[in-house]
């Protein structure tokens, strides 16, 4: 069965690789939109114009389900996409609920793009799951480009991680699939003072459930 994976850039490659490893019997179709990077500073209206034809094209190619491996797209426009794309769409969004259950200090940090942090969906997640939890949101606006260009600014990452730790965060949520490529570095800098989480494995578990229903 064809499984689609979409992201603005290299973040989708990480997700596609994890899916291929977990589900080797399926064909993974990866689509990116590097010509229009970055997505993390674009409006929902701009994103809809860019993403809708790509998703519809993937469905037309025979993808039976599409993983939206972009937190910005998921939190901003996935509901609109679902009304115009004829196959199931599985989104990836910041793991606010799991983080709220893991924290012992009552403070979590969410590393995400500006558009994700402004989105209605993300702020709804915070209102539901973080009523009594402090949420630190360091400025990671340059991270996606940094990862995309493969020029990692360790000092910038250290500054953001330290900001979270200094605020007593004991869970760091990676709210952009680009950041998966520097997950090990973030963990190294956090030095076991905070747990670092991202949604690849939960999304793969959900994907397995959807595939079982489709087969």
Indicate if 101 and 178 belong to the same structural domain: yes
Mean of all residue pLDDT scores within the chain: 96
> Per-residue pLDDT averaged across 178-190, rounded?
96
**Domain count along the chain:** 2
The candidate with the shortest Cα–Cα distance to 182, out of 32, 23, 10, 19, is: 10
Domain with 22 in it: what CATH number?
3.40.50.1860
- What residues act catalytically? 70, 176
Domain interval for residue 157 = 96-197
Reported confidence tier of residue 215, pLDDT bands at 50, 70, 90: confident
pTM score, whole prediction: 0.93
- Strands 171-174 and 107-111, by their bridges, are parallel
Indicate if 193 and 209 belong to the same structural domain: no
Q: What is the pLDDT of residue 3?
A: 98
Q: Say how many Å lie between the first and final Cα of the chain, rounded.
A: 9
pLDDT digits (tens, 9 = 90+) for 10-54: 989 999 999 999 999 999 999 999 999 999 999 999 999 999 999
pLDDT digits (tens, 9 = 90+) for 114-135: 999 999 999 999 999 999 999 9
Indicate if 52 and 80 belong to the same structural domain: yes
Please name the residue ranges forming H helices in the chain: 11-22, 44-60, 71-82, 96-102, 114-118, 120-129, 143-148, 154-166, 183-190, 200-214
Task: Reply yes or no on whether the pLDDT at 157 is more than 90.
Answer: yes
- Residues 162, 189: Cα–Cα separation, whole Å: 8
User: How far from chain centre, in Å, is Cα 86?
Assistant: 22
- Residues 7, 175: Cα–Cα separation, whole Å: 13
């Amino acid at each position: 069965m064809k499984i689609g994976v979409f992201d603005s850039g290299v973040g989708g490659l990480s997700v596609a690789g994890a899916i291929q490893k977990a589900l080797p019997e399926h064909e993974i179709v990866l689509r990116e939109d590097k010509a229009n990077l970055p997505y993390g500073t674009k409006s929902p209206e701009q994103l809809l114009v860019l993403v809708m034809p790509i998703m519809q094209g993937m469905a037309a190619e025979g993808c039976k389900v599409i993983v939206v491996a972009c937190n910005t797209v998921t939190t901003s426009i996935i509901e609109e996409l679902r009304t115009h794309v004829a196959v199931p769409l599985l989104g990836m969004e910041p793991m606010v609920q799991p983080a709220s259950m893991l924290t012992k200090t009552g403070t979590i940090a969410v590393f995400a793009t500006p558009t994700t942090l402004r989105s209605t969906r993300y702020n709804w997640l915070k209102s539901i799951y973080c009523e009594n939890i402090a949420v630190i949101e360091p400025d990671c606006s340059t991270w996606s480009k940094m990862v995309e260009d493969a020029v990692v600014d360790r000092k910038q990452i250290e500054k953001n991680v330290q900001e979270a730790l200094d605020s007593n965060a004991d869970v760091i949520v990676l709210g952009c699939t680009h950041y998966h490529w520097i997950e090990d570095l973030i963990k190294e800098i956090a030095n076991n003072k905070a747990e670092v989480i991202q949604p690849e494995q939960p999304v793969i578990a959900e994907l397995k459930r959807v595939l079982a229903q489709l087969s």
